Amino acid sequence: MAIAVGVSGAVVWTSRKMPTASPPDSRGASSTHASPPGSPTEWIAEGLALADRLVQDFAHRAEALDLAARFHQRFGDPARAAALWRQCLDHDPRSAHAAFCLGSAAWEQGDFEQAVAYLRRALAIDPRLANAPVILGESLMQLGRPQEAIAVLEKAEAATPQSMRWFLLGQAYLQEAQYEKARRAFESAIALDTGYTKAYYGLVAAWSRLGDTKKAEEYQAVFLRLNAQENAKAAKERDARRDPGADEIRQAAARFAFDAARLYAAGGDREEAGRLLARAAGLDPAEPGYRQALDTLWSSGVPIEASRP
């Protein structure tokens, strides 16, 4: 049994022979798309138990450790997630992904020194990491090191312009009293994203420092209008949610089971792969890729490609 990921992002399930056992009970994968039994708390607990099994069964597979770490980071224990990513780095010191995840996790915890160390390591391994300069730049600014942030962000912008990086550059320039550069940076952010509310506020500050009160007032009016629209939109979205987060948790648990199934199938454990695919389909019956992958797993020996959700 093997799984491959094609250039289109599709999962290819292949088998040399028919399964030796019957397919698992997949009655949870109903086509009616009814809400599955259970609660968000139960789905999270189930996912955390699966994460522990992955670490036990694939202790030397960086992919499995990363998968378990991401679930812990999102729904469990961030310290446990960090420990698993450090294990990934022990297995593969050149893993830019693991270093980036550790840096991002440190940033979320407010440990900016640690974030800087891991993010610099990640970028040294792979300078193409798009989000690393943003988090690194913000961490450096939190540490009161705007000059270093400017160096990081300017280098990233020279390669691939991004509105958020321009915005952070503007903030760093403001801290360094480089007001004309700050103005140009905020305008560059808006050129890439005309609805970037915070960038308009940055222009208010820049033009104020440059002594142009009229310009500052013009951009303050734009900022206030966009900010009011954002607040109204956020309020409507909150009111529209009857059960905030439940669907997101259920779908995340389903995807986690699906990704774990891929690991077990690649390792030759068709029974466990089938059980996890059936669980993914039961948790998220609206996602046809889970059912398709399950059907393919228990099909004939002809390779079948199933679209990856």
pLDDT in tens, 36-61: 678 999 999 999 999 999 999 999 99
pLDDT averages per 10-residue partition of the chain, 309 residues: 34 32 41 65 95 95 94 91 94 93 94 97 94 95 96 90 94 97 97 96 97 96 94 74 73 96 91 93 94 82 37
Crossing angle of the two packed helices 62-75 and 78-91, in degrees rounded to 10: 160
pLDDT for 171-194, tens place per residue? 999 999 999 999 999 999 999 999
Neighbouring residues of 244: CB distance < 8 A, sequence distance ≥ 6: 238
The CATH architecture annotation of domain 179-240 reads Alpha Horseshoe (1.25)
Please name every residue paired with 306 in a beta bridge, in sequence order, or none if there are none: 11
Distance CA 118, CA 267 (A): 31
